Structure formats: C-alpha cells, structure tokens
Amino acid sequence: MLPVALVVSTIFWYFAIYQKPPSETPGTTAKPTPAVGFGSLRPYATLCKEFQKVEGEISCEEAIRIAEAKYGGKVQSILQGSNLHKKGDITSEGKEVWRLDILLDKPIQKEQEIFDSARLYLDRKTGEEFASRYTKKP
C-alpha cells in the first residue's frame, strides 16, 4: 500500500509543480502579436500581393481603404490599369486607375432595383474617384 501511495503522491506533485502555464501549452487560442516591420500580416496582403508601391501613386492598400470608407463594404477584387476614353471615333489614353469591386454592407435601392455591389475607379496619382457604378452580385 505504501508504494502505491508514494507513486500517486509523486505523480500529483509532478503535475502540480512542473505543469506549464496555459499560455505555453500547445493548442492555445491566443493570437500572436504582429511583428513590427513584417508585411505578411497586413489586412490587405492577399489582395495587394501582386502590386508594388510606386512613388507618386497611392498604394493598393490605400485604394482599398478609400473605397471601403466611402462605400461601407469589403473589397472583393482590385485591378490596376489605364482607363480609355472614347470620343467619337478617336480613342485616347486616359488615367492610370485602380478598379475596385466592393461587396456593400448595406444594399442600395436605385430605380426599383437593389444593388449589393459597387465598382469604382480611383485615379492612381490622387486617389480621387472619377467613375463608379452599382452592380448586382453574380
């Protein structure tokens, strides 16, 4: 009986004294704090991974912030390119733009239709919106 009590007592004290605190045990749900200077934890890293910052232009991340602040939604896609203007038979190169597709938080009703998405075009140099339209989610 004494050896059994000794084994049980030893096991008890082992777990009571040497057990790791909950923050060090595997499988905890604590979120890691982002390290300073690492871009992999940016909120728009997935959408903006293809685009490099160009001096004199707004960044992909800034374009997304502008769009989400104005329209109240979540950007679903972003593209970079030139907007072409057509006047009569003459086509001239327009502005360098960011094209963003946004899923709206609150659908908008216009002319008897309900729209849940928006597409907008931002000037890449100034960040100003110069065109937009509401769309329906496909």
CATH, residue 45:
3.10.450.40
**Whole-angstrom Cα distance, residue 110 to residue 37?**
44
- Taking Cα atoms as reference points, which of 134, 125, 135, 56 lies closest to residue 97? 125
Instruction: List C-alpha distances in Å: 129 to 17, 30, 66.
Output: 63, 40, 9
Residue with tokens 């979540």: 74
- Taking Cα atoms as reference points, which of 127, 134, 57, 58 lies closest to residue 101? 134
- Determine the pLDDT at residue 110: 85
Residue 109: domain span: 2-135
Q: DSSP label at 57? A: S
Quick: pLDDT tens for 111-127: 888 999 999 999 999 99
Structural domains in the chain (count): 1
What average pLDDT does range 83-101 have in this prediction?
A: 66
pTM, two decimals, is 0.61
